[in-house]
Amino acid sequence: MFIVTGAAGFLGSAAVWALNARGITDIVCVDTRPAAEGTANLAPLTYAAYVPHQQWLDAVRRGEWKTRMRAVIHLGACSSTTEQNWDYLRENNLEYSKTVCEAALDAGARFIVASSAATYGNGAQGYSDNHAGLDDLRPLNLYGRSKHEFDLWARDTGRLDQIASLKYFNVYGPNEWHKGDMRSMVCKGYEQIRDTGRVRLFRSDRPEYPDGGQRRDFVYVKDAIAMTMWLLDHPEHNGLFNVGTGESTDWNRLMHAIFAAMNRDPRIEYFDMPAELAKAYQYDTRADMTKLRAAGYNAPVMSVESAVRDYVVNYLVPHAHLQ
Protein backbone atom coordinates (compact mmCIF):
# COMPACT_ATOMS: atom_id res chain seq x y z
CA MET A 1 0.00 0.00 0.00
CA PHE A 2 0.96 3.62 -0.51
CA ILE A 3 0.48 5.56 2.72
CA VAL A 4 -0.16 9.31 2.51
CA THR A 5 -0.35 11.18 5.80
CA GLY A 6 -1.99 14.59 5.91
CA ALA A 7 -4.02 13.20 3.02
CA ALA A 8 -7.05 15.44 3.55
CA GLY A 9 -4.83 18.52 3.53
CA PHE A 10 -3.15 20.60 0.86
CA LEU A 11 0.00 18.72 -0.13
CA GLY A 12 -1.39 15.39 1.01
CA SER A 13 -4.44 15.48 -1.24
CA ALA A 14 -2.22 16.66 -4.10
CA ALA A 15 -0.04 13.57 -3.54
CA VAL A 16 -3.14 11.33 -3.69
CA TRP A 17 -4.19 13.15 -6.88
CA ALA A 18 -0.75 12.55 -8.42
CA LEU A 19 -0.85 8.85 -7.51
CA ASN A 20 -4.35 8.56 -9.02
CA ALA A 21 -3.02 10.14 -12.22
CA ARG A 22 -0.66 7.17 -12.44
CA GLY A 23 -3.55 4.74 -12.01
CA ILE A 24 -2.61 4.00 -8.38
CA THR A 25 -5.55 3.56 -6.01
CA ASP A 26 -4.15 1.20 -3.34
CA ILE A 27 -3.66 4.21 -1.09
CA VAL A 28 -4.28 4.56 2.62
CA CYS A 29 -5.15 8.14 3.53
CA VAL A 30 -4.13 9.11 7.05
CA ASP A 31 -5.26 12.35 8.68
CA THR A 32 -7.20 13.80 11.56
CA ARG A 33 -10.92 13.17 11.18
CA PRO A 34 -11.58 15.57 8.31
CA ALA A 35 -13.95 18.48 8.53
CA ALA A 36 -16.12 19.24 5.50
CA GLU A 37 -13.33 21.20 3.82
CA GLY A 38 -10.81 18.40 4.23
CA THR A 39 -13.26 15.84 2.97
CA ALA A 40 -13.82 18.00 -0.11
CA ASN A 41 -10.16 17.60 -1.03
CA LEU A 42 -10.47 13.81 -0.99
CA ALA A 43 -14.00 13.51 -2.42
CA PRO A 44 -12.95 13.52 -6.13
CA LEU A 45 -10.07 11.11 -5.50
CA THR A 46 -9.85 7.32 -5.29
CA TYR A 47 -8.20 5.49 -2.41
CA ALA A 48 -8.56 2.22 -0.54
CA ALA A 49 -9.03 3.42 3.04
CA TYR A 50 -9.08 6.43 5.33
CA VAL A 51 -7.55 5.94 8.80
CA PRO A 52 -7.50 8.59 11.57
CA HIS A 53 -3.94 9.58 12.35
CA GLN A 54 -3.78 8.41 15.97
CA GLN A 55 -5.40 5.08 15.13
CA TRP A 56 -2.87 4.55 12.35
CA LEU A 57 0.06 5.54 14.58
CA ASP A 58 -1.06 3.11 17.28
CA ALA A 59 -1.29 0.31 14.69
CA VAL A 60 2.19 1.19 13.37
CA ARG A 61 3.60 0.97 16.88
CA ARG A 62 2.07 -2.49 17.21
CA GLY A 63 3.76 -3.54 13.96
CA GLU A 64 0.48 -4.15 12.15
CA TRP A 65 1.57 -2.31 8.99
CA LYS A 66 5.04 -3.78 8.63
CA THR A 67 4.18 -6.08 5.72
CA ARG A 68 1.76 -3.66 4.04
CA MET A 69 3.81 -0.49 3.47
CA ARG A 70 5.27 -0.01 0.01
CA ALA A 71 5.90 3.72 0.43
CA VAL A 72 5.06 6.37 3.00
CA ILE A 73 4.63 9.98 1.90
CA HIS A 74 4.53 11.70 5.27
CA LEU A 75 3.01 15.15 4.80
CA GLY A 76 0.86 15.29 7.93
CA ALA A 77 1.87 17.88 10.54
CA CYS A 78 0.80 21.04 12.28
CA SER A 79 1.70 23.56 9.56
CA SER A 80 0.96 26.76 11.48
CA THR A 81 4.01 29.01 11.54
CA THR A 82 2.48 30.96 14.45
CA GLU A 83 1.87 27.96 16.76
CA GLN A 84 3.47 28.67 20.15
CA ASN A 85 2.88 25.34 21.94
CA TRP A 86 6.21 23.56 21.61
CA ASP A 87 4.99 20.40 23.35
CA TYR A 88 2.22 20.10 20.75
CA LEU A 89 4.64 20.64 17.85
CA ARG A 90 7.22 18.26 19.28
CA GLU A 91 4.63 15.51 19.63
CA ASN A 92 2.86 16.00 16.27
CA ASN A 93 5.71 17.12 14.02
CA LEU A 94 8.83 15.59 15.54
CA GLU A 95 8.01 12.46 17.55
CA TYR A 96 5.24 11.30 15.21
CA SER A 97 7.59 11.67 12.24
CA LYS A 98 10.39 9.78 13.97
CA THR A 99 8.09 6.86 14.76
CA VAL A 100 6.72 6.68 11.22
CA CYS A 101 10.20 6.99 9.70
CA GLU A 102 11.56 4.11 11.77
CA ALA A 103 8.56 1.93 10.95
CA ALA A 104 8.82 2.61 7.22
CA LEU A 105 12.52 1.82 7.09
CA ASP A 106 12.01 -1.30 9.18
CA ALA A 107 9.40 -2.40 6.61
CA GLY A 108 11.72 -1.66 3.68
CA ALA A 109 9.36 1.05 2.43
CA ARG A 110 10.30 4.26 0.67
CA PHE A 111 9.97 7.16 3.12
CA ILE A 112 9.43 10.74 2.01
CA VAL A 113 8.80 13.43 4.64
CA ALA A 114 7.92 17.11 4.50
CA SER A 115 10.54 19.39 5.96
CA SER A 116 10.23 23.13 5.27
CA ALA A 117 12.04 26.20 4.02
CA ALA A 118 11.20 27.62 7.46
CA THR A 119 14.23 25.67 8.71
CA TYR A 120 16.47 28.22 6.97
CA GLY A 121 15.45 31.02 9.34
CA ASN A 122 16.31 34.50 8.08
CA GLY A 123 18.42 33.10 5.24
CA ALA A 124 21.71 34.35 6.66
CA GLN A 125 23.23 30.91 6.00
CA GLY A 126 21.76 30.72 2.50
CA TYR A 127 19.25 28.21 1.13
CA SER A 128 21.44 25.25 0.23
CA ASP A 129 20.17 21.77 1.06
CA ASN A 130 23.73 20.59 1.68
CA HIS A 131 23.81 18.50 4.87
CA ALA A 132 27.01 20.16 6.06
CA GLY A 133 25.22 23.40 6.96
CA LEU A 134 22.46 21.89 9.08
CA ASP A 135 24.00 22.82 12.43
CA ASP A 136 24.23 26.48 11.43
CA LEU A 137 20.52 26.95 10.68
CA ARG A 138 18.39 28.97 13.10
CA PRO A 139 14.64 28.73 12.37
CA LEU A 140 12.66 31.83 13.28
CA ASN A 141 9.58 30.03 14.63
CA LEU A 142 8.71 26.86 16.50
CA TYR A 143 7.20 25.23 13.42
CA GLY A 144 10.53 25.60 11.63
CA ARG A 145 12.31 24.28 14.71
CA SER A 146 10.15 21.14 14.76
CA LYS A 147 11.06 20.38 11.15
CA HIS A 148 14.72 21.21 11.68
CA GLU A 149 15.00 18.95 14.71
CA PHE A 150 13.66 16.03 12.69
CA ASP A 151 16.29 16.64 10.00
CA LEU A 152 19.01 16.77 12.65
CA TRP A 153 17.75 13.54 14.24
CA ALA A 154 17.62 11.81 10.86
CA ARG A 155 21.17 12.90 10.09
CA ASP A 156 22.59 11.99 13.50
CA THR A 157 21.00 8.52 13.47
CA GLY A 158 22.08 7.72 9.91
CA ARG A 159 18.55 7.70 8.57
CA LEU A 160 18.91 10.79 6.39
CA ASP A 161 20.85 8.79 3.82
CA GLN A 162 17.91 6.36 3.56
CA ILE A 163 15.01 8.84 3.18
CA ALA A 164 14.08 12.00 1.29
CA SER A 165 13.31 15.02 3.48
CA LEU A 166 11.82 17.78 1.35
CA LYS A 167 12.21 21.45 2.17
CA TYR A 168 9.09 22.89 0.57
CA PHE A 169 9.27 26.62 -0.14
CA ASN A 170 6.14 28.79 -0.62
CA VAL A 171 3.70 26.30 -2.14
CA TYR A 172 0.38 27.58 -3.47
CA GLY A 173 -2.43 26.12 -5.52
CA PRO A 174 -5.75 24.24 -5.38
CA ASN A 175 -6.87 22.34 -2.27
CA GLU A 176 -5.56 24.89 0.24
CA TRP A 177 -8.91 26.49 1.20
CA HIS A 178 -9.14 24.69 4.56
CA LYS A 179 -5.88 26.22 5.79
CA GLY A 180 -7.49 29.47 6.93
CA ASP A 181 -4.89 32.16 7.60
CA MET A 182 -2.14 29.76 6.47
CA ARG A 183 -3.49 29.84 2.90
CA SER A 184 -1.18 31.30 0.27
CA MET A 185 -1.43 34.97 -0.61
CA VAL A 186 -2.57 33.90 -4.08
CA CYS A 187 -5.71 32.44 -2.56
CA LYS A 188 -6.23 35.30 -0.10
CA GLY A 189 -5.28 37.93 -2.67
CA TYR A 190 -7.77 36.54 -5.16
CA GLU A 191 -10.54 36.82 -2.56
CA GLN A 192 -9.54 40.39 -1.69
CA ILE A 193 -9.57 41.42 -5.35
CA ARG A 194 -12.85 39.62 -6.00
CA ASP A 195 -14.56 41.26 -3.03
CA THR A 196 -12.98 44.74 -2.95
CA GLY A 197 -11.19 45.26 -6.28
CA ARG A 198 -7.85 45.74 -4.52
CA VAL A 199 -5.22 43.83 -2.56
CA ARG A 200 -3.21 44.80 0.51
CA LEU A 201 0.49 44.05 1.05
CA PHE A 202 2.97 44.81 3.82
CA ARG A 203 5.15 47.87 3.60
CA SER A 204 8.86 47.18 3.69
CA ASP A 205 10.94 48.07 6.73
CA ARG A 206 14.18 47.80 4.79
CA PRO A 207 15.38 50.49 2.36
CA GLU A 208 16.81 47.91 -0.07
CA TYR A 209 13.33 46.48 -0.61
CA PRO A 210 10.49 48.69 -1.91
CA ASP A 211 6.98 48.20 -0.56
CA GLY A 212 5.76 44.88 -1.93
CA GLY A 213 9.32 44.17 -3.07
CA GLN A 214 9.96 41.50 -0.45
CA ARG A 215 10.73 38.28 -2.28
CA ARG A 216 9.84 34.60 -2.03
CA ASP A 217 10.36 31.40 -3.98
CA PHE A 218 6.74 30.69 -4.90
CA VAL A 219 6.25 27.15 -6.20
CA TYR A 220 3.00 25.88 -7.70
CA VAL A 221 1.62 22.78 -6.01
CA LYS A 222 1.65 20.81 -9.28
CA ASP A 223 5.40 21.41 -9.61
CA ALA A 224 6.03 20.67 -5.92
CA ILE A 225 4.19 17.36 -6.16
CA ALA A 226 5.93 16.46 -9.45
CA MET A 227 9.25 16.77 -7.61
CA THR A 228 7.88 14.70 -4.73
CA MET A 229 6.73 11.94 -7.09
CA TRP A 230 10.11 11.92 -8.85
CA LEU A 231 11.83 11.25 -5.54
CA LEU A 232 9.27 8.52 -4.84
CA ASP A 233 10.40 6.89 -8.09
CA HIS A 234 14.10 7.28 -7.28
CA PRO A 235 14.88 5.72 -3.89
CA GLU A 236 18.56 5.81 -4.79
CA HIS A 237 18.48 9.57 -4.13
CA ASN A 238 18.26 10.39 -0.45
CA GLY A 239 18.86 13.23 1.99
CA LEU A 240 17.62 16.80 2.08
CA PHE A 241 16.11 18.28 -1.06
CA ASN A 242 14.76 21.77 -1.67
CA VAL A 243 11.40 21.91 -3.42
CA GLY A 244 11.04 25.27 -5.12
CA THR A 245 11.61 27.01 -8.44
CA GLY A 246 15.06 28.47 -7.88
CA GLU A 247 13.60 31.91 -8.62
CA SER A 248 12.94 34.75 -6.19
CA THR A 249 9.73 36.66 -7.02
CA ASP A 250 8.47 39.79 -5.30
CA TRP A 251 4.95 40.17 -3.95
CA ASN A 252 4.10 42.92 -6.45
CA ARG A 253 4.75 40.62 -9.41
CA LEU A 254 2.69 37.87 -7.78
CA MET A 255 -0.25 40.23 -7.24
CA HIS A 256 -0.01 41.59 -10.80
CA ALA A 257 -0.28 37.99 -12.03
CA ILE A 258 -3.53 37.57 -10.07
CA PHE A 259 -4.98 40.81 -11.42
CA ALA A 260 -4.04 39.76 -14.96
CA ALA A 261 -5.65 36.33 -14.53
CA MET A 262 -8.83 38.08 -13.33
CA ASN A 263 -8.70 40.63 -16.19
CA ARG A 264 -8.56 43.54 -13.74
CA ASP A 265 -6.35 46.59 -13.45
CA PRO A 266 -3.88 46.36 -10.55
CA ARG A 267 -4.80 48.16 -7.31
CA ILE A 268 -2.33 47.52 -4.51
CA GLU A 269 -2.38 49.20 -1.10
CA TYR A 270 0.41 48.89 1.47
CA PHE A 271 0.12 48.79 5.25
CA ASP A 272 2.55 48.47 8.16
CA MET A 273 3.71 45.03 9.14
CA PRO A 274 2.67 44.00 12.67
CA ALA A 275 5.57 44.28 15.10
CA GLU A 276 5.31 40.65 16.22
CA LEU A 277 5.57 39.46 12.61
CA ALA A 278 8.42 41.79 11.67
CA LYS A 279 10.77 39.99 14.08
CA ALA A 280 10.43 36.72 12.17
CA TYR A 281 9.88 37.96 8.61
CA GLN A 282 11.90 36.57 5.71
CA TYR A 283 12.69 39.24 3.13
CA ASP A 284 14.17 37.14 0.35
CA THR A 285 14.01 33.36 -0.13
CA ARG A 286 15.19 31.35 -3.12
CA ALA A 287 15.63 27.61 -3.18
CA ASP A 288 18.99 26.35 -4.35
CA MET A 289 17.79 23.65 -6.76
CA THR A 290 21.27 22.43 -7.74
CA LYS A 291 21.03 19.18 -5.79
CA LEU A 292 17.70 17.96 -7.17
CA ARG A 293 18.65 18.96 -10.72
CA ALA A 294 22.00 17.19 -10.41
CA ALA A 295 20.17 14.07 -9.23
CA GLY A 296 18.34 14.01 -12.56
CA TYR A 297 15.09 15.94 -12.12
CA ASN A 298 14.86 17.93 -15.34
CA ALA A 299 11.21 18.93 -15.70
CA PRO A 300 10.64 22.69 -16.16
CA VAL A 301 8.62 24.61 -13.60
CA MET A 302 5.69 26.83 -14.50
CA SER A 303 6.26 30.58 -14.55
CA VAL A 304 4.51 32.59 -11.85
CA GLU A 305 2.16 34.06 -14.45
CA SER A 306 1.23 30.69 -15.97
CA ALA A 307 0.77 28.97 -12.62
CA VAL A 308 -1.31 31.78 -11.14
CA ARG A 309 -3.54 31.83 -14.21
CA ASP A 310 -4.07 28.07 -14.00
CA TYR A 311 -4.93 28.37 -10.31
CA VAL A 312 -7.28 31.34 -10.70
CA VAL A 313 -9.10 30.31 -13.88
CA ASN A 314 -9.36 26.57 -13.32
CA TYR A 315 -9.68 26.32 -9.54
CA LEU A 316 -10.34 29.57 -7.65
CA VAL A 317 -13.07 31.00 -9.88
CA PRO A 318 -15.07 27.73 -10.07
CA HIS A 319 -13.95 26.71 -6.53
CA ALA A 320 -12.75 23.40 -7.96
CA HIS A 321 -10.48 20.79 -6.41
CA LEU A 322 -7.75 18.64 -7.90
CA GLN A 323 -9.39 15.61 -9.50
Residue 113 CA to residue 130 CA, distance in Å, equals 17
Whether the per-residue pLDDT at 36 is higher than 70: the answer is: no
pLDDT band at 132 (very low <50, low <70, confident <90, very high): confident
CA angle 225, 53, 28 (to 5 degrees): 55
* pLDDT for res 80: 87
Whether the per-residue pLDDT at 33 is higher than 90: the answer is: no
Residue 84 CA to residue 142 CA, distance in Å, equals 7
Nearest to 83 by CA among 5, 141, 24, 158: 141
* pLDDT for res 37: 64
Provide the percentage of residues in the chain whose pLDDT is more than 70: 98
Q: What is the mean pLDDT of the chain?
A: 95
Whether the per-residue pLDDT at 146 is higher than 80: the answer is: yes
User: What is the DSSP code (8-state) at residue 257?
Assistant: H
Whether the per-residue pLDDT at 90 is higher than 70: the answer is: yes
* pLDDT one-digit tens code per residue, 58-68: 999 999 999 99
* pLDDT one-digit tens code per residue, 211-231: 999 999 999 999 999 999 999
Query: What proportions of the chain, in percent to the nearest 5, are helix, strand and coil?
Result: 45, 15, 40
> Which residues, 6+ apart, have CB-to-CB distance to 188 below 8 Å?
none
Half-sphere exposure of 220 (CA within 13 A, CB side): 19
Helix, strand, or coil here: 168?
strand
Average pLDDT over residues 269-294: 91
pLDDT band at 8 (very low <50, low <70, confident <90, very high): very high
Strand partners, 114: 166
pLDDT band at 240 (very low <50, low <70, confident <90, very high): very high
Residues annotated as catalytic are 143, 179
* pLDDT for res 261: 98
User: What is the DSSP code (8-state) at residue 30?
Assistant: E
Half-sphere exposure of 92 (CA within 13 A, CB side): 19
* pLDDT for res 82: 85
User: Domains of the chain (ranges plus CATH)?
Assistant: 2-172+218-246+284-301 (3.40.50.720)
Provide the percentage of residues in the chain whose pLDDT is more than 90: 89
